[in-house]
Amino acid sequence: MKFSAAAALLVAAVTDAHYTFPSVGTTADWAVVRQTKNYQSNGPVTDVQSADIRCYQMKNTAGIMNVTAGQPVSYNAKASISHPGPMSFYIAKVPAGESVATWEPGTAKVWSKIYQDMPNIAAGGMSWPTQGAKSVSVTLPRCLANGEYLLRAEHIGLHSAGSAGGAQFYISCAQISVSGGSGTFAPKSQVSFPGAYSATDPGIMINIYYPIPKSYTPPGPAVESC
Ligand SMILES: *[C@@H]1O[C@H](CO)[C@@H](O)[C@H](O)[C@H]1NC(C)=O
Ligand SMILES: [Cu+2]
């Protein structure tokens, strides 16, 4: 009895450590973000080859958020980003004639990275700017073409990433409509999900604690700029 109570507490603690990205700006949870399969469990994706690595999506949502190119958008974490690891954002433009409310990118190479943070590496270890954050701000490139996009948030929990399959991916896709863009965005590298990552990429399979790494190479393409 004592053991099972302790075990239940441990499970609760582990579950609480996970998180989701259910909203953007002041929108309600899952109003403009496609509801993810972990909306109750908060659990991560661990297989980078699964379709869940794209948007971790359970269902589409009707809502679309209007945003302005060159302006910041805050992507909210629930409850908070409680694991150490990198944050990135990707965008995919909805093809002409399609609506972001129904478009499915599948495994097409349509994703461009627009944001990537980097760790601070010191004698005490690696630390990440988002750890504990409840919201992360991303500025949409001012050169984007106007139109509808999926804005994909990705945080990788690296606390147990020393072996393949140990990294934890927390993912969401928001439906946005961009205006005010200059339209010259010309990404050098577009990737697919799955496809962009391998389980053994040095930024995905890494022991961040010992020995303390001397550098960090994020997975995926370089950040695109205007
Ligand atoms: C977004 O912009 C469109 C076009 O201007 C407008 O029709 C729509 O009401 C806006 N949506 C919101 C939620 O403000
Ligand atoms: Cu967790």
Helix (H) or strand (E) holding 114: strand 111-116
Distance CA 9, CA 52 (A): 29
Residues linked to residue 111 through DSSP beta bridges, in sequence order: 92, 191
């750890």: which residue's tokens? 131
Residue with CA nearest ligand 1 atom 14: 66
Largest CA distance in the chain: 65
- For residue 197, tell me if it sits in a domain: no
Residue 157 belongs to some domain of the structure = yes
222 lies in a domain?
no
| Residue 211 included in any domain | no
CA separation (Å) from 36 to 58, 109, 120, 164, 184?
A: 5, 21, 30, 23, 32
In a domain, 140, yes or no: yes
Is 200 part of a structural domain of the chain?
no
Query: Domain containing 67: what range?
Result: 3-179
Which numbered ligand comes closest to the C-alpha of 81? 2
Tell me, what CATH number does 10's domain have? 2.70.50.70
Q: Return the SS3 of 148.
A: strand
114 located within any domain: yes
Task: Give the per-residue SS3 of 121-137.
Answer: EECCEEECCCCCCCEEE
Q: In this structure, which residue's CA is closest to atom 12 in ligand 1? A: 66
Residue 217 belongs to some domain of the structure = no
Work out how many domains the chain is built from and give that number: 1
**Residue 120, ligand 1, Cβ within 6 A:** no
Taking only the tens of pLDDT, the chain with its 226 residues reads 344 444 444 444 444 589 999 999 999 999 999 999 999 999 999 999 999 999 999 988 889 999 999 999 999 999 999 999 999 999 999 999 999 999 999 999 999 999 999 999 999 999 999 999 999 999 999 999 999 999 999 999 999 999 999 999 999 999 999 999 999 999 999 999 999 999 999 999 999 999 999 999 999 999 999 9
Kindly report, residue by residue over 6-65, the tens digit of the pLDDT: 444 444 444 458 999 999 999 999 999 999 999 999 999 999 999 999 999 998 888 999
Nearest CA to 100 out of 166, 33, 29 is that of: 33
